[in-house]
Chain A
Amino acid sequence: MANALLEMRGITKVYPNGVVANKDVGFSLREGEIHAIAGENGAGKSTLMKIMFGMEEPSEGAIYIRGEQVKLQSPQDAIDRGIGMVHQHFMLVPSFTVAENMVLGMEPRKGVGFNAGEAVRLTEETARKYNLSVNARAKVEDLSVGMKQKVEILKALVRGAKILILDEPTAVLTPQETEELFHELQQLKEQGHTIVFISHKLKEVKAICDRITIMRGGRSEGVFQTREVTEQGISRLMVGRDVVLKYDKDSIPHGKPVLRVEQLAVSDSQGKALLAEISFSVREGQIVGIAGVEGNGQTQLIEALTGGLRGVSGSGAVSVKGTDIRGLDILGIRSLGVSYIPEDRMRQGSAGDASIADNLISTRYRSKDMNKGPFLHSSKIAALASSLVEEFKVRCSGTRQPVGMLSGGNMQKVVVARECSTNPQLLIAEQPTRGVDIGAAQFIHQKLLELRSDKCAIVLVSADLNEILELSDSLLVMYEGQIVAYFDNPSAVSEEELGLYMLGINRQDKEQTGRALNHV
């Protein structure tokens, strides 16, 4: 293409661990456009951007800027050629001021010293020029996320960036901040900048981008004019199939109650009520969904069910298969057949530096099967790990690979594999598909439904209404630590109706919510 500002041809990237992140990818950027790169987690978007910004060198392929082949061996090379990047995790030094962060690496001097006044002046001048207001003297650690992102954009601009790469810029922003960012990006475009916008949020891509390159499994699926493709069309290319959250659930009779919570009340150390009058049960083969705006007691309820509330003042009864679990530690609760998929897979769900195999056996390394005398039975562990990796379709280079090196979706699959493969009687799933691509999410949903068919009782806490409405057999809504609604046929409930309960506008009477205990 003659008018390509930047072009990448035949880019292949194989990491030393054997993972092929990009395979023969072509990418072409026109001057003055906003170009989206969309794809699922692990589709190779980030790797492609790292190559464009000189953070990774491609195994094969070449990069051209205005038709001239260039080698980008470090971010500095990319910066010198007018490429700037706004990383998803901000590259800022928290204790520095905005001005200091702006000029780091190109500090103005006064004699041998650092010219702080000039740094502030330069920051203010750049901010004015691009109409992005920041306080040059403020410390970065005191800024809001949206402000930090502005500093990052300015950092790239002050270094003369004409091409700006933004890696999932809206993931951390509030809706208002997102709108502001879009406005700023439009302005930059009008001033002649070219923007690469990485995202998997299709609405945003449609709203702001001129063209879109879609990636799947490390390959490019093609370039499209954004206005010529529909969201459904994009998602079909991203996932390779139509994304519909519709599952065929066999109607199975619900058996005996597994989890029974009665009149649970919990208050914090200052006496403020966190949970009040929580009563519900979950029976064999039943998925009970818990919906609610975050911070309405769901966290405390999960803690109460998983043994995290020992020693906190509270009243009521929580029993699993007739055994009171209050006072039991985590091991005690797990030995009753309880599994738990925690919300935070990085901090709670897995050990990043440990291998996939080690993570998979972390709940069962005590069992006789996994041991041979005083030692772990390594061949059995390896066999178990490979069969789970295969069954759960974890994309990795082998079971000895550290979990932390996997993409988010694959990491979550490891957690789900561990928790689902121990024949649980009760599974507590907390945001099981948060931040996971559509393909992995569907896979995880299928696994939950399989467990349900095997008569497992499931508590599903999720902020994803689509997920919770589709999967649950019964649905509870929590608001300010209480159950404010109970539905026995969630798929018939509309999102709008649910929203009224979640926001505390509507509230069912005691008789209706009380049905959560016996489901009659």
Chain B
Amino acid sequence: MNSLLDVILTTDFAFSVLRVTTPILFAALGALISNRAGIINIGMEGIMLVSALAGVIVSAYTHSAWVGLLGAVLSGTLIAGILAFFTLKFKTHIILGGVAINMFASGGTVFILYLLSGDKGSSTSLASKVLPSVQIPLLKDIPVLGPILSGHHILTYFSILSVLVVYYLLNRTPLGLRIRSVGENPHAAQSVGVSVVRIQYTALLLSGFFASLGGAYMSMGYLSLFTRDMVAGRGWIAIAAESMGRSTTVGTALTSLLFGAADALSNALQVLKIPAELIATLPYVATVVGLIIYAVSETRKKNKKLKTTTTK
């Protein structure tokens, strides 16, 4: 037990929580935006995978990590655009489209990887670039806080910034108002001339944008190469984080952090003599426990409400 605490109560562990939260947080914010517009993007996993590969390839050929990032974002947003096109234009069911995107991404990335590098497993033969980490002056010298908060990957900082951006976007801008109105009562939005389809397009593209930042982080920060199916369910966990966060920006960010912490814990505990398989279940156990707590509190709230209305 002591050794467990030894592992958790270190600045290294706290640092790693932020590190593994980053891709989940990005994707969860993306899921949040599309969900608020009333359209569930379950293609997060596939979008992340495609953008992870695109970042590696573009950076390898242009010798620039930043152009690589741009490539990742463009390709991820493009995939979201394709999903939006089929869903909103041809009225394909969004779940069907999302599943197609995920399967296409899983197979397609391996295919392209093989074409370019001759390797089906990873991109080791491609000289891809990595985005920099940032030391924050002043902050880095503060004990405890410094080692936890400073020295992170630039996209990690950007993901935290994105929480504020998404909050502002949804709650304080005309676009956010329209996104929420379309999600809550599309007829109302339509009746005042808001184009439901255009708003949902925008929301899906934005969700693709954020998911692809998460994907770029996977191959240009978390790891420095692409490996097959490297997103490993993070897109799905992000969707869970969004709904457990009750579709609010703050809730989504906090649940993402919770899942990140569980993920980090499972990484950290591998040094102990606990079976790796058991540790690997931690994030999922956290999900189930979280959902149970959520369901219980919701039921209580409902019962309370019922009681007050009946006593009225």
Contacts and interface: CB of A to CB of B under 8 A. Distances in A.
B185 A109 contact: no
Most chain A Cβ neighbours within 10 Å, of B172, B173, B184, B188: B188
B188 A93 contact: yes
Nearest to B191: A91
Interface in A71-117: 74-76, 79, 85, 87, 89-96, 100-101, 104-107, 109, 112-114
Contact of B193 (A76, A87, A92, A101): A76
A95 B191 contact: no
Contact of B189 (A79, A105, A106, A109): A105
Contacts of A90: 188
A155 interface: yes
A445 interface: no
A93 B192 contact: no
A159 interface: yes
Given A91-B185, A105-B193, A114 B180 contact: no
B64 to A, nearest CB: 30
A114 B172 contact: yes
Nearest to B192: A105
Contact of B172 (A94, A96, A104, A113): A113
Given A112-B173, A114-B173, A79 B181 contact: no
Given A93-B185, A95-B184, A107-B177, A75 B172 contact: no
B184 A105 contact: no
A75 B192 contact: yes
B133 interface: no
B125 interface: no
Given A74-B193, A104-B194, A91 B188 contact: yes
Interface residues of B, number: 19
A79 B193 contact: yes
A91 B191 CA distance: 7
B190 interface: yes
B123 to A, nearest CB: 39
Contact of B192 (A94, A104, A109, A112): A104
Interface in B160-204: 168, 172-174, 176-178, 180-181, 184-185, 187-194
Contact of A113 (B173, B178, B181, B194): B173
B185 A94 contact: yes
Nearest to A113: B172
Contacts of A109: 174
Nearest to B182: A93
B32 to A, nearest CB: 16
Q: Which of the listed residues B168, B177, B192 has the most CB atoms from chain A within 10 Å of its own CB? A: B192
B178 A91 contact: no
A94 B193 CA distance: 18
Nearest to A87: B191
A107 B194 CA distance: 11
A93 B184 contact: yes
A89 B176 CA distance: 24
A72 B172 CA distance: 32
Nearest to A119: B177
Contacts of B184: 93-96
A89 to B, nearest CB: 8
Nearest to A115: B174
A100 B177 contact: yes
Contact of A104 (B168, B178, B187): B178
B77 to A, nearest CB: 20
A101 to B, nearest CB: 8
A114 B176 contact: yes
Contacts of A93: 180-181, 184-185, 188-189
A113 B168 contact: yes
Contacts of B176: 114
Nearest to A112: B173
B174 A96 contact: no
B177 A75 contact: no
Contacts of B168: 113
Contact of B190 (A75, A100, A114): A75
A318 B161 CA distance: 68
A139 to B, nearest CB: 12
Interface string A220-263: 00000000000000000000000000000000000000000000
B93 to A, nearest CB: 15
Given A74-B193, A93-B181, A104-B194, A114 B174 contact: yes
Contacts of A105: 178, 189, 192-194
B187 A75 contact: no
A153 B277 CA distance: 62
Contacts of B181: 93, 96, 104
Contacts of B193: 74-76, 79, 105
A92 B172 contact: no
Contacts of B174: 107, 109, 114
Nearest to B181: A93
Nearest to A89: B187
A159 B191 CA distance: 12
A41 to B, nearest CB: 21
Interface string B93-117: 0000000000000000000000000
B187 A91 contact: yes
A273 to B, nearest CB: 16
A300 B187 CA distance: 36
A106 B191 CA distance: 12
A91 B188 CA distance: 4
Nearest to A159: B192
Interface in B129-180: 168, 172-174, 176-178, 180
A100 B177 CA distance: 8
B150 to A, nearest CB: 31
Contacts of B190: 75, 91
Contacts of A91: 185, 187-188, 190-192
Contacts of B172: 113-114
B220 to A, nearest CB: 29
Nearest to A102: B192
A93 B193 CA distance: 14
Contact of A79 (B173, B185, B188, B192): B192
Contacts of B189: 93, 104-105
B268 to A, nearest CB: 41
Contacts of A114: 172-174, 176-177
Interface in B236-263: none
A76 B193 CA distance: 5
A96 B184 CA distance: 10
Contacts of A101: 188
B165 to A, nearest CB: 11
Contacts of A79: 192-193
A90 B178 CA distance: 17
Nearest to A111: B173
30 contacts: A74-B193, A75-B191, A75-B192, A76-B193, A79-B192, A87-B191, A90-B188, A91-B187, A92-B185, A93-B180, A93-B184, A93-B188, A94-B185, A95-B180, A95-B184, A96-B177, A101-B188, A104-B189, A104-B192, A104-B194, A105-B178, A105-B192, A105-B193, A106-B192, A107-B178, A113-B168, A113-B173, A114-B172, A155-B192, A159-B192
Given A91-B192, A101-B188, A155-B192, 4 more contacts: A96-B181, A105-B193, A105-B194, A107-B174
Interface of B: 168, 172-174, 176-178, 180-181, 184-185, 187-194
**A-B residue pairs, 6 tightest by C-beta:** A76-B193, A107-B174, A105-B192, A91-B191, A91-B188, A105-B194
